[in-house]
Amino acid sequence: MEKNIFVADLAAMKRFAFAVARHAKPGFVIGLAGDLGSGKTTFTKYLAEAMGIQDVVNSPTFTILKIYRGTIPLYHMDVYRLETIGYDWSLEEYIDGDGVAVIEWYPYVGAMLPKNLLSIDIRATGETAREIRIKGEGEYDKVVEDVVRRYGN
């Protein structure tokens, strides 16, 4: 299942992230794509907030991986500089692990991705306007419909 969602501003992005967070459970993997500054980290911040995580979520660009402890742990990865920083991060153990994994620039780690994946591609169409393409594969096929319904309400 694939859907397009229009996000007008930050408040709408927050609403979208909260709708996605309803599906948070161990092993949930979310892939984020989109140009620099499109809003991947911003989405992750709202997702973390919705998951009850108190810490400030910021860009993990120079560390590849940041771990946030909540009721369910959140593994926030940004693999943009994986080639530069090095591959020795054992990311796989977080991808099919005990928490929710969010991977910024997921197309860069195609071989590492699980068959059950929710991918979110963000495109800036204005200062605060974003066009989102959300796609659910495997068991996340049905999640797309639910997210769209919740977001719409």
- For residue 59, the minimal CB distance to Mg ion (Å) is 5
> Does position 128 bind ligand ATP by CB under 6 A?
yes
* Radius of gyration over every alpha carbon of the chain, rounded to an integer in angstroms: 14
Query: Scanning residues 56 to 115, which ones bind ligand ATP (CB under 6 A)?
Result: 59, 78, 104
Structure tokens at 5: 């969602």
- Give the range of 7-15, 22-30, 83-91, 141-149 binding ligand ATP by CB under 6 A: 7-15
| Least separation in angstroms between CB 138 and Mg ion | 25
The answer to whether 35 touches 6, Cβ cutoff 8 Å, is: no
- The count of residues in the chain is 153
Taking CB under 5 A as the rule, which mask of x and - marks residues 10-49 in contact with Mg ion?
A: ------------------------------xx--------
From the CB of residue 69, how many other CB atoms can be counted at a distance below 10 Å? 11
Distance CA 42, CA 17 (A): 9
Write out the binding residues for Mg ion, residues 80-99 only, by CB under 5 A: none
Contact between 21 and 47 (Cβ < 8 Å)? yes
Q: Are 60 and 32 in contact (CB under 8 A)?
A: no
- Binder of residue 13, out of Mg ion, ligand ATP, none (CB less than 5 to 8 A by kind): ligand ATP
Q: Which of 19, 20, 24, 42 binds ligand ATP (CB under 6 A)?
A: 42
Would you give the distance in Å from CA 54 to the centre of its chain?
18
Query: Quick one: tokens of 60?
Result: 């993990």
> x/- contact string, 132-151, with ligand ATP (CB under 6 A)?
--------------------
The binding site for Mg ion (CB under 5 A) comprises 40-41, 59
